[in-house]
Amino acid sequence: MKHALYASVAALALTAQGGAAADLKFAPGEGGFNWDSYNAFADQYDLPGQTVEITGPWTGNEKAKVDEVFKYFEAATGATANYSGSDSFEQDIVISSRAGSAPNLAVFPQPGLAADMAKQGLLTPLAEGTADWVAENYSAGPSWVDLGTYEGPDGNDALYGLFYRVDLKSLVWYSPIAFDEMGYDIPESMEELKELSQQIVDDGGTPWCIGLGSGAATGWPATDWVEDMMLRTQTPEDYDAWVSNDLKFNDPKVVEAIEEFGWFAKNDDFVQGGAQAVATTDFRDSPAGLFSIPPECYMHRAASFIPAFFPEGTEVGEDVDFFYFPAYEEKDLGKPVLGAGTLFGITKPSEATSAMIEFLKTPIAHELWMAQGGFLTAHAGVNPDVYAEDSQRAQGQILADATTFRFDASDLMPAEIGAGAFWTGMVDYVTGTPADAVATDIQNRWDSIR
């Protein structure tokens, strides 16, 4: 009876405020969506005639999906939400903001740009209490508060960004068929992962496929390895200090993380083709060894986007699967997760803009994209059953279990470091240069750009 009542209320809200319910992708009251959160939101707002202009990096299929989400905001409030995506978003938003013609909301693919704009006074802090709400309602909530908090033009810190869509990097892809044939178990700690790697070698196999090749960006996959290792060998505070260079790149803690990557990548027995092949193998080709018979490798550490480079017709969960890149049990650092994500920031305040931020705080605003596929969220209030695929549900659970989340460090460092010296330094490292020498070279480059 209660479900029927809420379904009825939702349908009334959707049609009364503006929308033709028939134009909505998911019928009101149906499915596993959190309609309660939608109804509570719809009861608060009546904004006919108002418009929210939004810009961001999502184009094509991604734009189509977020447009479906925004239709529900329009139906609940009577306001209009116009989203425009751009491949040159980073340049466009700075230009329009400085010219006084910014949209109401911007979707930032990296915290760094949002932080720069906040310091210049081009962003408006989110409403008081939002930081507490994020800390309480997101998995590893304090991490998301930290990532969205920046220094304003007055020198004071405030929450400027609300994270929405998340990308997950702390994954190891493997062949479940090969694991089953050999009787291998999924490792639950870094100690077990290292033991498994050695066991595969002892059994005559090659545990890892690793490729750093990426054209002009060659080397970047190694930065993900090192970042994950920093989170597994050092505290989150050390990681943050490393990103800001308060912890120098050639500090022994950073050198240790580089050498942890080297434990896997610089052992001829551990990687397909031997250690020298790591630097020359294209990252897009490197997972191929998982699918050969017999397998040329058993594991491949890569982010959630890597299935785009699997052989056509590959079924995740059958032909290939993944597990969480585990942490050291002995170091007691919890379950850190490395990734990336997009956040909403206010570039031109208005009543409808504030309402959109409140809408994005509702579980259903996340579930509506989850159900369309290609979306992960750290919102702890969502129904995981709504995920379009089992693989996304499993990745969502990794995010839910995370005790710490940190953004890709190289994306937060100065471009000359994070998209330059760090990349090339990792190639030098896997081809023979000692870790401390590589780290010192990177630090010298950082010092030179101050």
- Crossing angle of helices 60-77 and 2-16, rounded to 10°: 100
Q: What would the pLDDT profile of 399-445 be if each residue is shown by its tens digit? A: 999 999 999 999 999 999 999 999 999 999 999 999 999 999 999 99
Report whether pLDDT(11) > 60: no
For domain 2-168+339-407, give the CATH number. Answer: 3.40.190.10
What pLDDT score was predicted for residue 21?
52
Question: Would you place residue 4 in the very low, low, confident or very high pLDDT band (cuts 50, 70, 90)?
Answer: very low
Length of the chain: 450
Beta-bridge partner residues of 213: 282
What pLDDT score was predicted for residue 450?
75
Are domains 2-168+339-407 and 171-337+410-448 of this chain identical in fold? yes
Q: What would the pLDDT profile of 311-342 be if each residue is shown by its tens digit? A: 999 999 999 999 999 999 999 999 999 999 99
CA distance 389 to 399: 16
Helix (H) or strand (E) holding 6: helix 2-16
Over range 84-88, report the average pLDDT.
93
Report whether pLDDT(13) > 70: no
For domain 171-337+410-448, give the CATH number. Answer: 3.40.190.10
| Cβ atoms of 104 and 53 closer than 8 Å | yes
Distances (CA, A) of 292 to 203, 281, 323: 17, 16, 20
What pLDDT score was predicted for residue 22?
53
- The DSSP code sequence of 303-361 is -TTGGGGSPTT--BTTTBEEEE-PPPTTTT---EEEEEEEEEEESS--HHHHHHHHHHT
Sign of the C-alpha dihedral computed for residues 414, 418, 420 and 422 taken in this order: positive
> Which residues have C-beta within 8 Å of that of residue 258, sequence separation ≥ 6?
226, 229, 426, 429, 435, 438, 439
Locate the domains of the chain by residue range. Answer: 2-168+339-407, 171-337+410-448
Mean pLDDT rounded to a whole number for the chain = 94
Give Dmax over CA atoms of the chain in angstroms.
69
pTM summary value: 0.91
